[in-house]
Structure 1
Amino acid sequence: MNSSTSSSNPAASQLDSGELKEQIARGAEVEVDPKEVGRIARAAFVGTALEWYDFFLFGTASALVFNHLFFAGVGGANATLAAFATFGVGFLARPLGAIIFGHIGDKYGRRPALIISIAVIGVATGVIGLLPTYGSIGVWAPVMLTVLRLLQGVAVGGEWGGATTMAIEHAPEEKRGRYAALVQIGSPVGTLLSSGIFALILMLPPETVDSWAWRIPFLVAFPFLGVALWIRLKVEESPVFEALSAVEGEEKEKGSLKDLFRDYLPQLALATAAALLGIGGFFVMSTYVLSYATESLGLDRQMVVNATLLGAICQIFINLFFGRLGEKFGPGRIIGWGGVATALLSWPIWAMIDSGNAIALTIAVCLGISSVTITYSVSGVLLSELFPAKMRYSGVAISANVAGAISGLLPFIATWMNSTNEQPSSTPGIVILVIVALITAIGGFVGEKYRVKDNVVRQDS
């Protein structure tokens, strides 16, 4: 059977209402042309990489420059806390974005939701590069920074869930892992872009960085937005959504938030738990480590940023390898054992960071980011298969972004816990990483039993 059921596709005429209803009853998991699958996955990857560049850039800037440029009136450790609180605001806004864009994606189409989300985040990020600092306008500087961060958060709330849903709904069932992993690679590529451009900026004299050079990475978001929009506008609508919309004379099979929270609350909880380490663990091992290593241990900023860059490169290979492995053993099991591995590695990782040795810290950051990426590599598949097609965008986006909201507070919590100690300690980092890893392990192992295949719940033991 041909993949697309769109009226713009000649194949649509080959599918009568009965066939469409049969597809919808099976979860609207239709087959698509392999060439189209690859094109959609690549487009989702590029768009996601550019969006995550914008979002991760704020985390790097929070750890390195925002504390003294936008929160100079607070001073000391409190300035860093304020910067991380603003960083966390973006995550708190993500569930709202998930609800808004999830509704758009499930009712009006995956494609328009993705186009709107990328436009909002690109503009918000670029405008940050134009903001006056605290030294120029006082308290209004952090206020405007916070507003723009909120807009970033709302937009990103609809991005990952939509890109993942598009890739999964175009992919053959047996190859979902590799195509979902391609979308996930957008995250480390976004990290490489944001950390890489900051690494170049930090080669300039510190006074130059603080004066104007810090703005360059944010202003680059404007041309990036043009590229991302061009890519997204070329992407066709999901064939699954089109199958749901093509039944004429019948009530369309669309879900609602009420149905989602009434009928799929256990799946939402499991999906949130399964996504937590891949998001939260990354920010502990990147954003918080940047702050802890430079401010508490007094290590060179450039060296720590370079370690994060190498960690992002490791992420690419981890995503590809475990994405394929998830096709064989199941994404829930990969997430479960990835969580267990991260919990076991937490103390050795932080011991290497505390050594203050550049090589040991680089190995620790690469190992930590790699271990949390094991769970991230297949989370898109598991989350997508926990929900039926008619409410998939909302289910995936809300669960991932509730996890994101929690994750965004982890650097703040770790910094606050450390500020209560007389001497800097890695204990907050260890404790947070272990707890998050074990929660994700439970979500993965249990979530594997709830995977939806053709709207039939698996009964794997």
Structure 2
Amino acid sequence: MSTTKPKIPMYVGKDGTELRRVLTSSYVGSMIEYYDFVLYAAASGLIFNRLFFNDLPPAVATIAAFATLAVGFVVRPLGAIIFGYFGDRVGRKSVLVLTMSMMGVATALMAVLPTRDQAGVLAPVLLIVLRIVQGLSVGGEWGGAALMAFEHANPRRRGFASVFATAGQPSGSLLAGVVLALFALMPEDQFLSWGWRVPFALSAVLVVFGLWIRVRVSESPLFVEEQRRRETATEKVRPPLIEVLRRPGALILAFVALLAPFLSFTLSGAFGITYGAAHGLTTSSVLFISSAGSLVCIIGELLFAALSDRVGRRPVMIGGVIAGAVLAWPFFALLQTGTAGGALLAFSLINGLAIGATFGPLAAFMGERFHTGSRFTGLSLGYQLAATTGGGFGPLIMTALIAGDPGDVAPIVWFVAGVAVLSIIALVFSKERAVEAPSLGGSEKGAATSHLTRASRHRVAHSASGEAAR
């Protein structure tokens, strides 16, 4: 007698055609958004400090450039609130089309910005304005892309399905790093004059391709069901932000849990690239090596997301947070060697183990914190608050910690370790699944419980089947 367990399909409905379309849309859309966003992050410490803040001492110019990077992060929670509202009330799909369009336009316009020498103080002002548009856009992009995959997928395979939106981030980083590195091979005067502009201009082409994919997907079946419920509900429907803040525990724990992962992301991103370039690596080589680390990150995220469907989100994420704290010191030590091999090992370890294990299950972990009517708002806000704190201010804090002695990274290592402890505590106190999706045949706890009857669950399954059959 065979004891082989039947394979659990990742889709809901008769076949997986629609889910494959949704996963492709989530992956490609997120990749393009983060190509634009990370392109700016890579350029901030390598290019913008020299072109838009060249009237300042080099160290101060780098801090100023990282400050414009932080501005994009600061407005991301606002973008989460704005686009979260429309995503929870109007629909996930329409918000994703809008955010991608905004990001593409802002990034393409950066390609034609005048420099400080050409326009004076107006140049950094325009740069900051476009960075704000980028930040607002990303505030709504990741949450919508993750939810489209999460809400179309089989509840028992949502970790692996949702990771396609998350995997788009290192894919965008990989693409941005490679494209910028190729142009960085040019003579420096040409690169600083016009070569750096071409990768930003390419965003317009990528966005057209992404929109073509995105407009072809169907709306989330769980959102469609939630719309039907609201139409027949007799009680007052609260705004999604109010619904999230009425039970702030899930939001607070999620925010703290994600702080350490975003610090690891910062190490492998803007700060790590700048630190490597300051310790003997050329601009092009450190960008290529960082891109290789992004490739390792994609593989790690896929593997750890699939593992989280088997053993749970929290154990996998706790392991990733511990890895990030343990690897902080070796990361800097390897970069300080000034060798390509050492840098490659540094970026590969932190991307594959620390970021892969935390960001792989992250989308499903966040989706399981909130019920359908406020899931876009709650997931996006928690994620973007952590991104702003850990990712936006991370490079500034780290730069300040070693300002007195760039060779002494102990303050950064202790800082990363302290934040890791906080994230582990938050993960320990978080429930594995604070909310069960209605398509599980269970009920969503809290505010959604009283609204989900057997009939509504049947409509969810019917709606999902219909969407998948299209």
TM-score w.r.t. length of structure 1 = 0.89
Shift of residue 293, structure 1, vs aligned partner = 2.1
Shift of residue 345, structure 1, vs aligned partner = 2.1
Deviations 1:363-403 (A, max 9, x none): 01111122222100111011000111111000000000001
Instruction: Give secondary structure in 2 for the equivalent of 1:44.
Output: helix
Q: Aligned to 1:353, which of 309, 313, 335?
A: 335
State the match for 1:74 in structure 2: 56
Q: In 2, distance between residues paired with 1:83 and 1:231?
A: 34
Q: In 1, distance between residues paired with 2:62 and 2:165?
A: 32
Shift of residue 443, structure 1, vs aligned partner = 2.8
- Unmatched runs of 5 consecutive residues or more in structure 2: 1-10, 437-442, 447-470
Q: Aligned to 1:329, which of 301, 311, 319?
A: 311
Task: Evaluate the alpha carbon distance shift between residue 423 and residue 87 of structure 1 in structure 2; reply closer, same or farther with a 3 A threshold.
Answer: closer
Q: Does 1:201 align with 2:183?
A: yes
Q: Does 1:418 align with 2:407?
A: no
Shift of residue 255, structure 1, vs aligned partner = 4.9
Deviations 1:61-103 (A, max 9, x none): 0121000101111131000000000001000010000000000
Q: In 1, distance between residues paired with 2:95 and 2:234?
A: 22
Q: In 1, distance between residues paired with 2:413 and 2:288?
A: 22
> Aligned letter for 2:84?
G
Q: Does 1:455 align with 2:444?
A: yes
State the match for 1:375 in structure 2: 358
Counterparts of 1:52-451 in structure 2 under 5 Å? 52-247=34-229, 248-251=231-234, 255-263=239-247, 265-295=248-278, 297-370=279-352, 371-406=354-389, 407-419=391-403, 421-449=404-432, 451=434
State the match for 2:19 in structure 1: 37
Deviations 1:328-363 (A, max 9, x none): 111111111211122122222222222223211210
Q: In 1, distance between residues paired with 2:48 and 2:38?
A: 14
> Aligned letter for 2:24?
R
Task: Evaluate the alpha carbon distance shift between residue 387 and residue 87 of structure 1 in structure 2; reply closer, same or farther with a 3 A threshold.
Answer: same
> Aligned letter for 2:444?
N
> Aligned letter for 1:98?
A
Q: In 1, distance between residues paired with 2:405 and 2:320?
A: 34
Q: In 2, distance between residues paired with 1:132 and 1:173?
A: 50
Task: Evaluate the alpha carbon distance shift between residue 322 and residue 294 of structure 1 in structure 2; reply closer, same or farther with a 3 A threshold.
Answer: same
State the match for 2:457 in structure 1: none
Instruction: Give secondary structure in 2 for the equivalent of 1:212.
Output: helix
Deviations 1:39-72 (A, max 9, x none): 2111111111111101000001012100010111
Question: Does structure 2 retain, via aligned residues, the 8 Å contact 1:106–1:254?
Answer: no
Instruction: Give secondary structure in 2 for the equivalent of 1:234.
Output: coil
Question: Does structure 2 retain, via aligned residues, the 8 Å contact 1:56–1:190?
Answer: yes
Question: Does structure 1 retain, via aligned residues, the 8 Å contact 2:313–2:432?
Answer: no
Question: Does structure 2 retain, via aligned residues, the 8 Å contact 1:115–1:232?
Answer: yes
Shift of residue 249, structure 1, vs aligned partner = 4.2
Instruction: Give secondary structure in 2 for the equivalent of 1:299.
Output: coil
Question: Does structure 1 retain, via aligned residues, the 8 Å contact 2:313–2:365?
Answer: yes
Shift of residue 203, structure 1, vs aligned partner = 0.9
Question: Does structure 2 retain, via aligned residues, the 8 Å contact 1:333–1:448?
Answer: no
- Unmatched runs of 5 consecutive residues or more in structure 1: 1-29
* Alignment RMSD: 1.7
Shift of residue 449, structure 1, vs aligned partner = 4.0
Instruction: Give secondary structure in 2 for the equivalent of 1:185.
Output: helix
Aligned residues: 425
State the match for 2:3 in structure 1: none
Q: In 1, distance between residues paired with 2:124 and 2:414?
A: 31
Q: In 2, distance between residues paired with 1:438 and 1:377?
A: 20
TM-score w.r.t. length of structure 2 = 0.87
Question: Does structure 1 retain, via aligned residues, the 8 Å contact 2:111–2:197?
Answer: yes
Q: In 2, distance between residues paired with 1:428 and 1:88?
A: 21
Question: Does structure 2 retain, via aligned residues, the 8 Å contact 1:284–1:429?
Answer: no
Q: In 2, distance between residues paired with 1:41 and 1:442?
A: 32
Shift of residue 278, structure 1, vs aligned partner = 3.2
Shift of residue 289, structure 1, vs aligned partner = 1.3
Identity of aligned residues (%): 34
State the match for 2:5 in structure 1: none
Q: In 2, distance between residues paired with 1:119 and 1:175?
A: 30
Shift of residue 210, structure 1, vs aligned partner = 0.4
Instruction: Give secondary structure in 1 for the equivalent of 2:426.
Output: helix
Q: In 1, distance between residues paired with 2:384 and 2:324?
A: 21
State the match for 1:10 in structure 2: none
Q: In 1, distance between residues paired with 2:319 and 2:406?
A: 34
State the match for 1:21 in structure 2: none
